[in-house]
Chains A and B, each alone.
Chain A
Amino acid sequence: MGAQIRVYRERIKSVGSIKKITRAMELVAASRVTKARQYVAESTPYALALTRAVSAVATFSDVDHPLTTERPDVKRAGVVIMTSDRGLAGAYSVSAIKESAELIAKLKSEGKEVVPYLVGRKAVSYYKFRKREYAADWTGFTDRPTFDAAREIGERVTGDFIAGSEEGGVDELHVVFTRFKSMVTQEPTVVRLLPLEVVEGTEAPAPDEVLPLYEFEPNASEVLDALLPKYVTSRLFNALLQSAASELAARQRAMKSATDNAEELIKTYTRLANQARQAEITQEISEIVGGASALADAK
């Protein structure tokens, strides 16, 4: 009986220290999610200026650009999958991977070959464990993405897109990321990034805004040449930032429920320990009473 109490006490102690860890992680995630949302907001002026400029060029010139041209026969489709580097974020990475699996299945049913590009260690280990092929991976920055990371991804995917399927590249490119809608809702989202549809998107300027007749320096097609890769990068950067905010929000929620569960467990074990202690006392009393009456009978 005494051993039973000790087992319960040990469990209470270990759950208590786990609770401390999850509580700390919850608080850290909560403070970082605020910052992550701020980064999303801070990157908006750039995205806005870029979108405005791109739509200005698109409106006032009829230049065709390889990045905006639909290809008639799509053989290979690239999919960028954005997940987290670390776990303990609930279903965050899993739901992004699930969303991508659906997309991949759909693309395959259309007869396209799928080329995955992975962001985050979780996606990489998912693919490695299943011994699946992937084109490239980027890891180590998912909870605080830098613009350089976005640029690196952007350069790779636009390069592959321009190369086309004949030269081992892709004919279209999709991005799977987790859109940060609010602290409680984050939504795995699929966006087709390439070929570009400029007018579409949340950052597009208001329709009542009249764009002035721009002069282009050096000329419209060269301006477009310079702008479109930046636009791709900016879209990727925004997706990375939103994913980071979603990851932290998911982690905060997961850690909060872990802390709550730990509290629940401690309560249960405390009850059980009390019960065991009480049972021990009761048994001791009955042993003493039994012993005393046995002595009295012997006389």
Chain B
Amino acid sequence: MSELHVELVAADRKVWEGDAAKVSARSVDGDLGILPGHTPLLGVLVTGDIRIDTTGGQRQSVTIDSGFLSVDHDRVTVVAETVDTSSFSG
């Protein structure tokens, strides 16, 4: 598989779901980039931006407060309590 299936989930709703080429987020240890084929990972995220490069070539960016991210078999789930979608399109 050469793309990531991304789910962006807030506490009260599913914000976004789709395919992406790359996801980057800020974890407690520093910036984290996920590309297809990444090893299964469960990381704690801190307040910051999540950037998603969709397969359509767009770059989406949302701001989250604390949350976590899980990767397994090219499925990426970003979970945050609150997601600020003001800078989000689509």
Contact = CB atoms under 8 A, between A and B. Distances in A.
A18 to B, nearest CB: 36
Contact of B11 (A53, A147, A216, A218): A147
A215 B77 contact: no
Nearest to A39: B12
Interface string B13-46: 1100000000000011100100000011111100
B43 A230 contact: no
Interface residues of B, number: 26
Contacts of B39: 215
B11 A212 contact: no
Contacts of B84: none
Interface centre among B9, B41, B82 (most CB of A within 10 A): B9
B89 to A, nearest CB: 21
B82 A147 contact: yes
A214 B72 contact: yes
Contact of B7 (A42, A45, A147): A45
B59 interface: no
Contact of B68 (A150, A227, A233): A227
A226 B47 CA distance: 13
Given A227-B68, A234-B11, A214 B81 contact: no
Nearest to B13: A42
Contacts of B32: 217
Interface in B39-90: 39-44, 66, 68, 70, 72-73, 77, 79, 81-82
B40 A215 contact: yes
Given A45-B7, A56-B42, A226-B44, A212 B72 contact: yes
Interface in A212-226: 212-218, 222-223, 226
Interface string A87-114: 0000000000000000000000000000
13 contacts: A42-B14, A45-B13, A45-B14, A46-B11, A49-B79, A147-B81, A147-B82, A217-B28, A217-B29, A217-B41, A222-B28, A226-B66, A233-B81
Given A50-B79, A52-B70, A223-B68, 11 more contacts: A43-B12, A46-B79, A49-B79, A56-B70, A212-B72, A214-B40, A217-B27, A217-B41, A217-B42, A218-B43, A237-B12
Interface of A: 39, 42-43, 45-46, 49-50, 52-53, 56-57, 147, 150-151, 211-218, 222-223, 226-227, 230, 233-234, 237
Interface of B: 7, 9-14, 27-29, 32, 39-44, 66, 68, 70, 72-73, 77, 79, 81-82
